[in-house]
Amino acid sequence: MAQPASASKRPATRGAVMVLLTVAIIGTLFVPIYARSTPKLGPLPFFYWYQLIWVPGVGLLCWICYLLLKTRPVSRHGGGGRR
């Protein structure tokens, strides 16, 4: 059976997902944000800890998007009705 996934979501939800994912990409794509050594985290220059922190950051953003787009298992009975 076919479940409309993202397509069934409201435009607002899909818009929010696109914004979050764009933020996730821009975060490390735009290098001037983080190409500097201060403020340091202990001995680590900003350049390094900024990117290392983005790793769980991007995971979190993707997880939020996953929750937003998740299709509820509504079609337990007579699934396939929605087309």
12 binds another protein (CB under 8 A): no
Q: How many CA atoms lie within 13 A of 13 on its CB side?
A: 14
| Rg, the chain, Cα only | 19
Query: Closest distance between another protein and the C-beta of residue 38, in Å?
Result: 10
Q: How far is CA 6 from the centre of its chain?
A: 14
Q: Which is nearer to another protein, 15 or 71 (CB)?
A: 71
Could you tell me the two tokens for 80?
């396939």
19 binds another protein (CB under 8 A): no
Q: What are phi and psi of 44, to 5 degrees?
A: -80, 120
Residue ranges in contact with another protein by CB under 8 A: 1-7, 21-22, 24-25, 27-32, 35-37, 42-48, 51-52, 54-56, 58-63, 65-66, 69-71, 73, 75-81, 83
